[in-house]
Amino acid sequence: MDRVYAPISRPTIGSVGKTGIWRSLKPVINYDKCTGCFLCWMYCPEGTIDATDGRVSIDYDYCKGCGICANVCPVKAIEMVREE
């Protein structure tokens, strides 16, 4: 089944500066569990999750660590871990 996604408008990367330096938790994706539903990509309020070739990735330079992606993941493939 082919997935069709609505186009979204995204600001250019870095247009508001890097924001990830003060986060206390960061999302980590378990790719063995990920089903490629892209809900994390759709709900990320900062647009830091990229969906390319059926896989998601997180740009940690701009991720604020809000945890929305982990909360919407239906298979719990995203875990919030303490930033080191």
Total domains in the fold of the chain? 1
Confidence at residue 58, expressed as pLDDT on a 0 to 100 scale? 95
Residue 63 lies in a domain: yes
Helices assigned H by DSSP within 3-84: 39-43, 68-72
Q: Which domain holds residue 24?
A: 20-82
Helices assigned H by DSSP within 1-84: 39-43, 68-72
What mean pLDDT is reported for the chain?
86
Residue 78 lies in a domain: yes
Does residue 42 contact residue 10 with C-beta atoms inside 8 Å? no
Confidence at residue 18, expressed as pLDDT on a 0 to 100 scale? 73
Q: What is the pLDDT of residues 42-71, one digit of tens each?
A: 999 888 999 988 899 999 988 999 999 999
Tell me which DSSP letter residue 75 carries. Answer: T
Residue given tokens 């408008």 in the structure block: 9
Residue 74 lies in a domain: yes
Distances, alpha carbon 18 to alpha carbons 14, 34, 39, 54, in Å = 6, 27, 24, 26
- The domain that holds 32 is classified in CATH as 3.30.70.20
